[in-house]
Amino acid sequence: MRKTSLTLIAVCAALLWAAAGYAQIEPPPMCPPPAGPLVGPRFQDNGNGTVTDNQTGLMWEQKTGVVGVKPKTPNIHDVNNNYSWSGLLSTDPDGTVFANFLGTLDFNQSSDGSSITGCFANYCDWRLPTSVELQGIIDKTAPGCGPGGTCIDPTFGPTQRRAYWSGTTVEDENSFVWDVHFELSRGLNFPGLAQGFKTSNFAVRAVRCSQ
């Protein structure tokens, strides 16, 4: 009975999270910028699975694993995980990125549904980045930014080359969401923005305001 109750609590919490405005058709307020000029490196590894952007005040999820290699034990932070933005035949924020990914980070339900513990890195306000925020971590000067590589600072951990979900729905196209590619491809004008159908399965990197 307890297992069932906790599972229902987690599912309801995830649905409420999505219904509370996290679909992000309009971008959320910008994070308060850090006081004073940037001193030292822009990206700071916090040692707890997160990265702080000292220029924007954003805190990002750090990915783990090896691109293209599935771990033997499921890990919510594994770089190879892909999620849908919406469920089948839906355009609402009810896909696995909300129910499974953000539901785990913000409510931390155990994989078998038997318990709910603390939030990821002790923060319970993780969300999808806006398209602007996600484009802001593209780095064409990064050491891996070349053919077959990714244009992002290595502090973020492993990164898929293609399609990361943002939380920003394409205006006047409710079936599509802006996504960001980190691969270098001159013919497709990447790294940069693209539009993804909401029921597609793409990668994701969570974010929150660090202050």
Q: Which helix (H) or strand (E) covers residue 106, if one does?
A: helix 103-107
CA distances from 181 to 58, 95, 96, 152 (A): 19, 20, 20, 10
* pTM, full prediction: 0.81
Across-strand partners of 137? none
Go through the chain and tell me how many residues it has: 211
Whether 116 and 9 have beta carbons less than 8 Å apart is answered as yes
Question: What pLDDT is attached to residue 10?
Answer: 38
What is the pLDDT at residue 28? 57
Residue 39 confidence (pLDDT):
77
pLDDT of residue 13: 40
Alpha-carbon span 39 to 25, nearest angstrom: 34
One digit per residue, the tens of pLDDT, for the chain of length 211 reads 443 443 333 334 433 333 333 344 445 556 777 777 777 899 999 999 999 999 999 999 999 999 999 888 889 999 999 999 999 989 999 999 999 999 999 987 554 445 556 899 999 999 999 999 999 999 999 998 988 889 999 999 999 998 999 999 998 889 999 999 999 875 566 788 999 999 999 999 999 998 7
